[in-house]
């Protein structure tokens, strides 16, 4: 799918932000009437698997102040922003594992790199994130430069990692190194992984399997790189993508928000002593995020939390909190890695809007509803209705909505990194091919 068709570029988002400001200013000048209550909003969504929804794909924008009535003093707004920035500063960094070549390290077989500007210059320099680079091929002792390696189907021996020039079999070395490395990463803590696409060691998917060392075409069968296979098998809950798929802004934002959720779970929720209260708070604060990505797994998580004291054979955990955390971790992060859709996002907006139905005037509710419908139709970006919802949650002091993960400063920083900044561009050691003359 063409990336430009998925999300509007930076200029469009900037225009949307300006439009929000114009709406606010116009209404502020023309209307200072008292709000009237009307309970007939009627846009709260039903709790079906498809319609219970998101709170993610593009969480609120903190820099946009969308007041419909009398705006609080600029001083108060500045204090809120300063508090949000303090929240980021006080938290530890989100640790993202990366293939070393993607941040400019010259570790490829030809002594080159595959530097990805978005990763090295944006994520790598942001105070919220810490990159943890590694190269499996260098890790097993291969030199730089070195002969290329490929995955070869050796029939009875299965898929083997073979040097293309020397025919050396690196399978055992890579397999053993990968097992040790994954266990080391789990012990040291990690919140996501960005792998090099098309690599026989790091590629997540669509890696060619060759019939022989001499084969130039490869078979029709595809697989994953050996290190990626170990990562997927031993740590399927970890958010992971390759840099090729992350050029899609929806996938990119989903990955980053999932990594931030993983960071919170790892550094706070799952720390000893484990507490059912903390886990319930985490679940409540990520409800809409998970709802949009997998309503089915949201229901399973909710059922687990409600019945965890039941015997294990009857769907519970026998009251064992360690078992509860282990099962919840698996369910939640398998769901949070999925991608929200426009339909699920629209349902989420309507669901949150339902919290305001008894607190907003009829005019305000109609306007908010129109912004949601415009988003559903693709006429405006998500930033517009979500900004209004974020403002109302603060203005009306609705703590439950305010505490949703996507409205927090840390997730706002994720949106800044993943979406509002220019689309990522690759830059590496490849030379541009000259066009052949006609």
Residue pLDDT, tens place only, 91-138: 589 999 999 999 999 999 999 999 998 899 889 888 889 999 999 999
Cα separation, 367 vs 38, whole angstroms: 14
- Mean pLDDT (whole number) for 242-270: 92
Band of pLDDT at residue 18, cut at 50, 70 and 90: very low
Instruction: Tell me what pLDDT residue 92 has.
Output: 83
Band of pLDDT at residue 414, cut at 50, 70 and 90: low
Band of pLDDT at residue 201, cut at 50, 70 and 90: very high
**What pTM was estimated for this model as a whole?**
0.73
Region of poorest pLDDT, from 212-221, 236-245, 348-357, 388-397? 212-221
Cα separation, 259 vs 239, whole angstroms: 6
Instruction: Tell me what pLDDT residue 177 has.
Output: 97
Residue pLDDT, tens place only, 377-404: 989 888 788 888 888 888 899 888 888 8
The closest of 391, 297, 307, 291 to 343, measured between CA atoms, is: 291
- Mean pLDDT (whole number) for 421-428: 41
Instruction: Tell me what pLDDT residue 291 has.
Output: 87
Cα separation, 221 vs 289, whole angstroms: 35
Residue pLDDT, tens place only, 292-341: 899 899 999 999 999 999 988 787 899 999 999 999 999 999 999 999 88
Instruction: Tell me what pLDDT residue 409 has.
Output: 57
Share of the chain above pLDDT 70, in %: 72
- Mean pLDDT (whole number) for 28-50: 36
Residue pLDDT, tens place only, 332-367: 999 999 998 888 888 888 888 888 889 999 999 999
For residue 264, pLDDT beyond 90: yes
Band of pLDDT at residue 37, cut at 50, 70 and 90: very low
- Mean pLDDT (whole number) for 274-290: 93
Instruction: Tell me what pLDDT residue 415 has.
Output: 61
Instruction: Tell me what pLDDT residue 102 has.
Output: 96
For residue 194, pLDDT beyond 80: yes
- Mean pLDDT (whole number) for 49-70: 34
């Amino acid at each position: 799918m063409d990336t430009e068709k998925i999300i509007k570029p930076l200029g469009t988002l900037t225009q949307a932000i300006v439009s929000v400001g114009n709406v606010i200013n116009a209404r502020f000048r023309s209307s200072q009437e008292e709000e009237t209550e009307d309970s007939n909003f009627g846009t709260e969504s039903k709790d079906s698997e498809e319609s219970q929804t998101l709170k993610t794909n593009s969480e609120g924008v903190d820099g946009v102040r969308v007041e419909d009535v009398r705006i609080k003093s600029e001083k108060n707004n500045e204090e809120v922003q300063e508090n949000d920035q303090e929240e980021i500063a006080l938290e530890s960094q989100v640790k993202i594992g990366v293939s070393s070549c993607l941040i400019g390290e010259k570790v490829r077989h030809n002594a080159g790199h595959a530097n990805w500007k978005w990763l090295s210059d944006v994520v790598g320099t942001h105070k919220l994130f810490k990159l943890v680079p590694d190269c499996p091929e260098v890790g097993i002792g291969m030199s730089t430069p070195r002969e290329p390696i490929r995955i070869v189907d050796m029939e009875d021996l299965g898929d083997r990692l073979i040097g293309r020039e020397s025919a050396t079999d690196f399978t055992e070395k890579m397999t053993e190194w990968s097992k040790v490395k994954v266990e080391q990463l789990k012990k040291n803590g990690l919140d996501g992984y960005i792998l090099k696409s098309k690599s026989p060691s790091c590629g997540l998917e669509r890696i060619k399997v060759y019939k022989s060392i001499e084969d130039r075409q490869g078979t029709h069968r595809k697989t994953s790189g050996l290190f990626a296979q170990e990562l997927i098998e031993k740590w399927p809950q970890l958010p992971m993508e390759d840099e090729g798929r992350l050029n899609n802004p929806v996938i990119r934002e989903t990955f980053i928000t999932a990594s931030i959720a993983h960071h919170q779970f790892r550094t706070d929720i799952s720390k000893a002593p484990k507490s059912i209260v903390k886990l319930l708070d985490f679940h409540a604060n990520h409800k809409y995020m998970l709802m949009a990505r997998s309503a089915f797994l949201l229901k399973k998580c909710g059922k687990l939390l409600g019945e965890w004291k039941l015997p294990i054979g009857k769907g519970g955990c026998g009251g064992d909190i360690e078992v509860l955390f282990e099962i919840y971790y698996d369910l939640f992060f398998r769901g949070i890695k999925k991608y929200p859709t426009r339909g699920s996002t629209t349902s989420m907006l309507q669901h949150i809007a339902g919290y305001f139905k008894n607190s907003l005037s009829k005019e305000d509710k109609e306007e908010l509803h129109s912004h949601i419908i415009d988003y559903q139709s693709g006429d405006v970006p998500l930033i517009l209705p979500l900004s209004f919802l974020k403002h109302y949650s603060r203005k009306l002091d609705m703590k439950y909505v305010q505490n949703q993960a996507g409205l927090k400063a840390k997730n706002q920083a994720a949106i800044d990194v993943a979406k509002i900044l220019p689309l990522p561009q690759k830059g590496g050691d490849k030379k541009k091919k000259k066009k052949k003359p006609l």
